[in-house]
């Protein structure tokens, strides 16, 4: 009788552990799905306030102007029926943006190095954060351009 009780307890324990592991896997899958949705619905980046260092402010302004220009093109291309416009001009603009992004990304390390030397340190921290955000905007712009060019190519094929 004692053997049967022990076996029964072991079986119940194994069942409980298995059920708990399955529940944890389901929770992880749910969290991963929510994270994916958040990434897809990401808000557009906001330009940080000026930090008072000319090179940093110029870099941030140039980066965010390019980012905003690219966001407008994304909106235009997503509503192709109402914004058929001149696709050749848009394509040329995207190619120019690609060159500008590359140049600004190349310049980012120099500007970042300069920003780290700003005094007082609190201003330096603000400048570094602004540059990092501007670099993120440039990277997002760079990632978006190939897809936008593909959309233009598809729209030209339809016309």
Q: Kindly give the residue spans of alpha helices, DSSP state H, lying in 44-120.
A: 54-78, 87-115
pLDDT given for residue 31 in this prediction: 74
Mean pLDDT of 149-156: 86
User: What is the rounded distance in angstroms from the CA atom of residue 116 to the CA atom of residue 48?
Assistant: 17
Domain housing 27? 1-42
Asked whether residue 36 falls in the same domain as residue 76, the answer is no
Query: Phi-psi region for residue 85, left (φ > 0), alpha (ψ -120 to 50) or beta?
Result: left
Is 98 inside any structural domain? yes
Same domain, 86 and 25: no
pLDDT of residue 17 exceeding 70, the answer is no
132 pLDDT higher than 90: yes
Domain count across the chain: 2
Q: What is the pLDDT of residues 6-16, one digit of tens each?
A: 787 787 677 76
Specify the pLDDT at position 83. Answer: 59
- Nearest Cα neighbor of 132 from 153, 151, 150, 115 is 115
> What average pLDDT does range 91-108 have in this prediction?
95
Q: How many residues does the chain have?
A: 159
Domain annotation covers residue 25: yes
Q: Which of 70-74, 79-83, 139-143, 147-151 has the lowest mean pLDDT?
A: 79-83
Q: Please give the average per-residue pLDDT across 125-147, as a whole number.
A: 95
| Percent residues over pLDDT 90 in the chain | 54
Q: Are residues 36 and 79 in the same domain?
A: no
On whether both 58 and 100 belong to a single domain, the answer is: yes
Going by pLDDT thresholds of 50, 70 and 90, the confidence category of residue 77 is: confident
- Shared domain for 16 and 77, answered yes or no, is no
Tell me if 47 is assigned to some domain.
Answer: no
Q: What is the pTM of this model?
A: 0.71
The answer to whether residues 63 and 89 belong to one domain is yes
């Amino acid at each position: 009788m004692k053997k049967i009780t022990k076996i029964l307890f072991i079986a119940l324990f194994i069942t409980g552990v298995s059920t708990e592991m399955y529940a944890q896997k389901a929770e992880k899958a749910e969290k991963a799905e929510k994270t994916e949705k958040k990434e897809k619905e990401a808000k557009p980046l906001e330009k940080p306030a000026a930090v008072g260092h000319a090179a940093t402010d110029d870099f941030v302004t140039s980066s965010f102007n390019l980012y905003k220009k690219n966001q407008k093109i994304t909106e235009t291309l997503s509503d192709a029926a109402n914004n058929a416009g001149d696709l050749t001009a848009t394509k040329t603009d995207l190619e120019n943006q690609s060159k500008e992004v590359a140049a600004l990304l190349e310049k980012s390390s120099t500007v970042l190095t300069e920003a780290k030397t700003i005094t007082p340190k609190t201003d330096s921290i603000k400048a570094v954060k602004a540059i990092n955000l501007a670099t993120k905007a440039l990277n997002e712009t760079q990632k978006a351009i190939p897809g936008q060019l593909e959309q233009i190519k598809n729209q030209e094929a339809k016309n």
